[in-house]
A and B are shown apart, each in its own frame.
Chain A
Amino acid sequence: MSTTSSAFVRGSFIESRRPPRTSVGVIGWARANLFSSLPNSILTLVAAAFIVWALTPLVRFTIIDAVWSGEDRAVCAKATGACWAYVKAYLPQFIYGRYPIDQRWRVDIVYALLALALVPMLIPRAPLKRLNAAFLLFAYPLIAFVLLTGGHIGFRGGWLPAWIVAPSPLRFFAEYALVAMVLLLVVGLLARIAGHPVAGSGRAAGIVLGAIGLLLLVVAADFGLEPVETSNWGGLLVTLVVAVTGMVASLPLGVLLALGRRSSMPIIRLASVIFIEVWRGVPLITVLFMASVMLPLFLPDGVTFDKLLRALIGVALFNAAYMAETIRGGLQAIPRGQYEAGMAVGLGYWQRMRLIVLPQALRLVIPGIVGSFISLFKDTTLVSIIGLFDFLGQIQASANDAKWASPVTGVTGYVFAATVFWAFCFAMSRYAAYTERRLNRGRRR
């Protein structure tokens, strides 16, 4: 063996060669994703041509040829682009409808409160979720109701003879107190028979009755606000009122229906299934028609419902059926062990649902609830068919106004409405997707 070898042993690695310029960076990316083969290249060129063909008129119409300012139709009469001056002139109407101008601060407060309460609700890490949810579901609707309508509902009372108390709010509240007392007695009696602690049941019933009483007091109180008829509401206000009320009202109803559909009691189950399937089987328009022409027939003589309220009832019942199916999906995703563990520690049905099942199930279906809110938000446009002026209805109506009538006014209105609706719905759908990812993270190991 010789001590010197002619073999060459490299002491270090060769510097790796840089990849060819055509396979990295922009060019590489384009080669891989756009021009990987001949058919693919042709497809890319066609698609690019399509984008240019579709976007050019859109950009020309909305930006380049658009009219940005002006006083009346004269500036838009010869325009080939969007008439943004018209949108600018009508913007307050699109937002408030015909709400009296000097009262619009009330609507502003309602909008601001909604934003203030909703934003921390949507941020997963913000604190005080329970309190926030309670505010949104109970206090906020009450505040919004009083602010928007002006409150001061003149209750007259019903059955106490006039020689005790004359028909007035006082009589109404006297009647309410009497009924509440009777109810408290009945609850106490039932609790005694069933062997529950009477004080506990009494306190629970007292809190509920007291809360309802407080609600009625607030609604009846005179805050010195000028009453505003709902026929003067319009635009975004009506859209948001219908969507938010529909949502807030349909959530508890949906929970009840979902529980009913999974109940072990056959009659309750059957009734829930029929309710859900009937509402889900018919289009919303027929529901709205029903609410506007059939509901008045169902009520006793002398009782009339406001048109907006009728639409709200229809929308809430319709949405509750969809909500029930969403929530049922969540209930089914909870493992049986959770129900059984609840039984094992001796919890009753409602305790089990309230403390164990629903908190988990509702968290699971947040994306579904947001999705359902998106479709509800889009469906609110249908109320314009029964003669309410929602955002779209207000825009549709203003386009025919002689002051701004021009060939481009209508299209401008539609483009504006589409942009606003799109922004709302797209943001919500992104949020739903984000929650879904966040919820899945815990389940992915």
Chain B
Amino acid sequence: MASGPSGGTSSPRGVLAVINNPTFRGVIVQLVFVAVLAWFVWDVIDNTARNLQRANIAAGYGFLNRTAGFGIVQTLIDYAETSSYGRAVLVGLLNTLLVAGLGIVVATALGFLVGIARLSRNWLIAKIATAYVEIIRNIPLLLQLFFWYFAVLRAVPGMREKWTFLGVFHLNIAGLHVPRLAFGDGSIFILAAIPVAIAISVFVAHWGKGRLDRTGRKPPVGWISAALIVGLPILVFFIAGRPITFDVPVFNETGPILRRGFQSGTGMTIIPEFVGLVLALSIYTAAYIAEVVRAGIEAVSHGQSEAAASLGLKPGQTLRFVVIPQALRVIIPPLTNQYLNLTKNSSLAVAVAYPDLVSVGGTVLNQTGQAVEMVSIWMLFYLGLSLLTSMVMNYWNRRVALVER
């Protein structure tokens, strides 16, 4: 800049050179930006403090220790009306994780099924899958949730009657009644047998790989592992004297009219809000997962499977060793994105009053008026979840990324 016609910094031209210097301008622009932002933030904080003072609300998270005083219909941990607000929020958080976790499992299974069906060579199957995706994707999730909850799960029989599926699942207005696993003395051994079996099968897999490298023969590692993981707990189950039993819901069809229906304390009742939410979330997300899966499989070029065939791999082997590993590389990042979407969408629970984090938080917010604190808890949870996911995803991406020249 000093190489201008009149280099001196004191002359007007020198001032001009400094002003038109991109670095200098950048610093000025950023300083102005920071100043405006700071003023804005300060203004907001100042207004909030004043408004809270006027409403007599003490800022801070102290309210989490106060007694909640409201009941929650589904709790995974001990909770009573006398518990604290903090405990209530924790109950909601666990409920969110439960509904999201189950939703993810169902959505993945359904999504893979539909995605593969869309690529089927059977015309009818492919068209049904396409229709599924195009219909479900273009209808708002909230509408689907309303449909499942209000139109389907409210139209089922009342308290004194039931519909039965597959002999053990019973549905009525109170929810889905299923057998509950009752753990007796000694069932701890069975639960302990599962990690032991997994540990042994990891060891077996290691041994199998060494054997393959040395001799070129692959021992049936998959079968051995499956037999271990399924067989060992069953073996322990019988040795320990069958401590795990099914607690089947008891349905009284006779007796006084008020005593009819499901006897309380027997079996397990899944509340209709949970059933509706899982149905809506998994059916909706499955349509997106199906598209992800289809795109992933289509991304593997035909040359790959043809090359595998010319090497003499059987179709099943081609799928296992050539197509799926490459497709997964494409599928997994958008798939995690869909999982994240499902988790965020589980906040629609508030529309059917399923006690998830947002729904319970809303109740707490209405009772205490601690809007800033409650919203911050929500944001922290969801943000933390997505940051965690993207961190894991980045790590995974670095590991499997194609190494090119």
Give residues in A with beta carbon < 8 Å to B. Answer: 33-34, 36, 40, 43-44, 47-48, 50-51, 193-195, 264-268, 271, 277-278, 280-286, 289-290, 293-294, 296-301, 374, 378-379, 381-382, 384-385, 392, 396, 407, 410-411, 414, 417-418, 421-422, 425-426, 429
B387/A47 in contact, CB under 8 A: no
Closest to B54 in A: A301
Give the residues from 199 to 254 in chain B that come closer than 8 angstroms, CB to CB, to chain A.
none
Q: Which residues of B contact A289 (CB under 8 A)?
A: 358, 362, 365, 375, 378
Q: Which residues of B contact A277 (CB under 8 A)?
A: 383, 386-387
A298/B47 in contact, CB under 8 A: yes
8 Å CB contact of A34 from B16, B26, B122: B122
A50-B128 CB under 8 A given contacts A268-B30, A286-B375? yes
Give residues in B with beta carbon < 8 Å to A. Answer: 15-16, 19-20, 26, 29-30, 33-34, 37, 44, 47-48, 50-52, 54, 120-125, 128, 134-135, 137-143, 146-147, 150-151, 155, 344-345, 347-348, 350-351, 358, 362, 365, 371-372, 375, 378-379, 382-383, 385-387
Cα separation A140 to B11 with both chains bound (whole Å): 50
8 Å CB contact of B142 from A33, A297, A392: A392
Main secondary structure of the interface of B (DSSP, over half): helix
A285 to B: closest C-beta gap in Å: 4
Instruction: Count chain B CB atoms within 10 A of each CB in A48, A285, A385, A410 and give the residue with the most.
Output: A285
Q: Which residues of B contact A421 (CB under 8 A)?
A: 138-140, 143
B33/A267 in contact, CB under 8 A: yes
Instruction: Count chain B CB atoms within 10 A of each CB in A194, A265, A271, A277 and give the residue with the most.
Output: A265
Closest to A382 in B: B142
Q: Which residues of A contact B375 (CB under 8 A)?
A: 286, 289-290, 293-294
Closest to A423 in B: B138
A385-B122 CB under 8 A given contacts A298-B44, A301-B50, A418-B143? no
8 Å CB contact of A271 from B33, B51, B387: B33
A286/B382 in contact, CB under 8 A: yes
Q: Which residues of B contact A299 (CB under 8 A)?
A: 47
8 Å CB contact of B372 from A43, A267, A294: A294
Q: Which residues of B contact A426 (CB under 8 A)?
A: 134, 138
Q: Which residues of A contact B37 (CB under 8 A)?
A: 271
A33/B347 in contact, CB under 8 A: no
B48/A44 in contact, CB under 8 A: no
A48-B124 CB under 8 A given contacts A281-B387, A298-B47, A429-B138? yes
Q: Which residues of A contact B365 (CB under 8 A)?
A: 289, 293
Q: Which residues of B contact A282 (CB under 8 A)?
A: 344, 378-379, 382-383
Known: A195-B20, A384-B142. 17 other contacts (CB 8 A): A50-B128, A265-B29, A265-B30, A271-B37, A278-B379, A281-B386, A285-B347, A286-B375, A286-B379, A289-B375, A293-B375, A294-B372, A301-B50, A385-B350, A392-B143, A421-B138, A422-B138
Q: Which residues of B contact A293 (CB under 8 A)?
A: 365, 371, 375
Cα separation A327 to B348 with both chains bound (whole Å): 28
A285/B140 in contact, CB under 8 A: no
Q: What are some 8 contacts across the A-B interface (CB < 8 A)?
A: A44-B124, A267-B34, A278-B379, A289-B362, A385-B348, A392-B142, A422-B139, A429-B138
Q: Which residues of B contact A417 (CB under 8 A)?
A: 143
A414-B378 CB under 8 A given contacts A34-B122, A271-B33? no
8 Å CB contact of A297 from B20, B48, B141, B387: B48
Cα separation A289 to B370 with both chains bound (whole Å): 13
Cα separation A129 to B141 with both chains bound (whole Å): 34
Cα separation A114 to B222 with both chains bound (whole Å): 61
A283-B51 CB under 8 A given contacts A267-B30, A268-B33, A293-B375? no
Which 4 pairs from chain A and chain B are nearest by CB?
A425-B138, A33-B123, A283-B344, A378-B140
Closest to B34 in A: A267
Cα separation A296 to B375 with both chains bound (whole Å): 14
A281-B382 CB under 8 A given contacts A40-B122, A421-B138, A426-B138? yes
Q: Which residues of A contact B140 (CB under 8 A)?
A: 378-379, 381, 392, 421
B147/A414 in contact, CB under 8 A: yes
Q: Which residues of A contact B147 (CB under 8 A)?
A: 411, 414, 418
B358/A286 in contact, CB under 8 A: yes
A285-B134 CB under 8 A given contacts A193-B15, A293-B365? no
8 Å CB contact of B29 from A193, A268, A284, A422: A268
Cα separation A62 to B44 with both chains bound (whole Å): 53
B58 to A: closest C-beta gap in Å: 14
B14 to A: closest C-beta gap in Å: 12
Q: Which residues of B contact A297 (CB under 8 A)?
A: 47-48, 51-52, 371-372
B371/A294 in contact, CB under 8 A: yes
Cα separation A374 to B375 with both chains bound (whole Å): 27
Cα separation A426 to B139 with both chains bound (whole Å): 9
Instruction: Count chain B CB atoms within 10 A of each CB in A195, A281, A379, A426 and give the residue with the most.
Output: A281
Cα separation A61 to B48 with both chains bound (whole Å): 53
B349 to A: closest C-beta gap in Å: 9
Closest to A294 in B: B371
